[in-house]
Structure formats: structure tokens, C-alpha cells
């Protein structure tokens, strides 16, 4: 009897793990192709992102039909991508980058809070982690560890969505933001809270130490 009980517990744990992993499946992190005829949680997440970006009208239904294909093609056209209606790695990344930027900007004005990890107050790495997590992307909590994640990117090769790092109050990476393009980044500043800053800002320009690409 006891053996059957433990076998049942193990089975339930396996089912629960599978259910949770499916519930958190994502078209970007799973590196899959989505196209007309596909269905599932990844399609739902795609439709939700496209809706938030103003392309998909209506409620996400998890089915990649002709309307979803049309919205994907419109997004691809607006972002100078091949207009094939297929969501592969390039299209998925561009959608995620736009959603990350959109999410980050909604928190402009949130005050700085040392150790803060929520919209009631952010520190720099709490902000970057929170914004990425809202878009299904997992990064570590602290600036120093985030600095060791992803792929190194030269300043001349920066793309929107890259994490940019600065040495501020101590040697090494002590401040982080999200690059938005056009020589600007968004971050939780200790003096301004969540705000957008230009790389030409003398304080940050002299303290820039590198960038990492999380969305590859």
C-alpha cells in the first residue's frame, strides 16, 4: 500500500511538472517556428504580444489562422523583415524586443528604491529583471551576475533590448539599463527613478563598461 502511495505521488508530481512547463511555454524561449495551422500556448503568447503592440485585435485564441498570419506580416513589414507570415527566430526576437521596450516605458517615473524589485520602487537590476520577466525572459537579480549572462556586444553593434552596464559607485558593473536604440537607454536611476537617458550624458558616457545581449 505504501509503495502504491509513493508511486501515485511520483506520477502526480510528473504531471504537475509537465503542466507547469506547458503553462510557461513561450514562442521566443522555445526557439520554434510558428505559422498558419499551428496552435497552443506559444501561439496565445504570440497573439498577446502582437495585441499589446497594436497589431492583433480581439482576444488571443491559441490558433494561428489567416488573421494571425496577416498581423505577423504587417509587423514584419513595419520592422523591415521578410514578410512570410512565419514567426521564426528573427521575427520572434523583434517582437520580444518591442514588447520589452514597451513594458519598460510603462514604468517611467517609478521611484528608485535600493533593493526594489516591483513597480512600487526599483533599483537598477531589479528593474531590468522585472521587465524581462514580464516578457517571459529570465535573468539573474544583481547587476554583477547579469553582467556575466548573455553575449558580449560592442557599443557600435548595440541593438534594442541589449543590457548596458556602467561602473558608478564602485569598480566593476554597478549599474544596468536596457538599450532602446537611437543612443538611448532606460534604467532605474538613483536620482530620477525609471527614466530614459542618452549615451551622450557625460556622467554615464564616462562610466560605460560594456553590453550583453540576452535576446539573441
Judge whether 175 counts as a catalytic residue.
Answer: yes
How far is CA 112 from each of CA 73, 100, 189, rounded to the nearest angstrom?
Answer: 39, 19, 6
Give the integer Cα–Cα distance in Å for 29 and 19: 17
131 near 104, Cβ under 8 Å? yes
The pair phi, psi for residue 7, each rounded to 5°, is -65, -40
Give the integer Cα–Cα distance in Å for 66 and 48: 16
Give the integer Cα–Cα distance in Å for 211 and 151: 8
Exposed/middle/buried for residue 180 (C-beta within 10 Å: 0-12, 13-18, 19+): buried
Q: Which listed residue (38, 175, 212, 213) is catalytic? A: 175
Can you say how many angstroms the Cα of residue 74 is from the centroid of all Cα atoms in its chain?
A: 21
Judge whether 24 counts as a catalytic residue.
Answer: no
Q: Which listed residue (50, 124, 180, 186) is catalytic? A: 124
Written as nine digits, the cell of 182 is 537611437
Judge whether 124 counts as a catalytic residue.
Answer: yes
Give the integer Cα–Cα distance in Å for 139 and 51: 25
Measured CA angle at 210 (ends 124, 193), to 5 deg: 20
Q: Which residues are catalytic?
A: 124, 175, 187
Amino acid at each position: 500500500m505504501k509503495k502504491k502511495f509513493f508511486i501515485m505521488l511520483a506520477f502526480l508530481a510528473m504531471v504537475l511538472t509537465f503542466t507547469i512547463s506547458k503553462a510557461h511555454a513561450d514562442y521566443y524561449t522555445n526557439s520554434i517556428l510558428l505559422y498558419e495551422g499551428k496552435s497552443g500556448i506559444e501561439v496565445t503568447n504570440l497573439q498577446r504580444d502582437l495585441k499589446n503592440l497594436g497589431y492583433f485585435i480581439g482576444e488571443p485564441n491559441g490558433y494561428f489562422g489567416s488573421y494571425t498570419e496577416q498581423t505577423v506580416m504587417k509587423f514584419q513589414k513595419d520592422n523591415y523583415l521578410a514578410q512570410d507570415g512565419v514567426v521564426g527566430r528573427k521575427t520572434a526576437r523583434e517582437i520580444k524586443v518591442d514588447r520589452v521596450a514597451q513594458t519598460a516605458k510603462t514604468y517611467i517615473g517609478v521611484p528608485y528604491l535600493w533593493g526594489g524589485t516591483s513597480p512600487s520602487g526599483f533599483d537598477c537590476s531589479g528593474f531590468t529583471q522585472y521587465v524581462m520577466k514580464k516578457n517571459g525572459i529570465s535573468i539573474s537579480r544583481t547587476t554583477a551576475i547579469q553582467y556575466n549572462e548573455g553575449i558580449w556586444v560592442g557599443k557600435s553593434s548595440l541593438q534594442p533590448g541589449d543590457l548596458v552596464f556602467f561602473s558608478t559607485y564602485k569598480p566593476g558593473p554597478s549599474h544596468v539599463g536596457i538599450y532602446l536604440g537611437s543612443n538611448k537607454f532606460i534604467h532605474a536611476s538613483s536620482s530620477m527613478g525609471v527614466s530614459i537617458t542618452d549615451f551622450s550624458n557625460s556622467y554615464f558616457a564616462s562610466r560605460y563598461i560594456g553590453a550583453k545581449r540576452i535576446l539573441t
